[in-house]
Amino acid sequence: MNDSVTPIRARTPGDDIWDALTEFFGNPRMDTERAMFGKVVAELLRGGATPEETRKACQYVVATFDSPSVNAVPKWFSVAQNGSQKKSAQQQALDRLRNPT
């Protein structure tokens, strides 16, 4: 019998960025998804992104694009931090249907 206990790894800033991404895009289940998440986390960390900024960028991407992807987060990161929220064409059409003038 092996009574050794695997030590718990300390959380890293990358873990916090990963968690922020999963709040909006879910937990990646496939190897390809995990690789994409890992690349996005690495890029965001290199750019000095915080979890709060990451959440803001995720929120922007999800609200702006009809088919949001985790890969769009670094691409639109600066716009999300500095810009106003723009609705996707689909969301604008839905708004017009819900609130006809």
pLDDT, tens digit (0-9, with 9 covering 90-100), for 27-77: 999 999 999 999 999 999 999 999 999 999 999 999 888 899 999 999 999
SS3 for 69?
coil
Looking at residue 94, what is its pLDDT? 80
Give a yes or no: residue 8 inside a domain: no
Give a yes or no: residue 1 inside a domain: no
Output the pTM of the full model. 0.75
Site of tokens 């694009």: 65
Residue range(s) defining the domain that contains residue 56 = 13-98
Give a yes or no: residue 4 inside a domain: no
Looking at residue 2, what is its pLDDT? 63
Give a yes or no: residue 48 inside a domain: yes
- What's the rounded mean pLDDT across residues 8-35? 96
Contacts of 61 (CB under 8 A, 6+ apart): 24, 68, 69, 72, 73, 76, 80
DSSP conformational letter for 47: T
Number of structural domains, the chain?
1
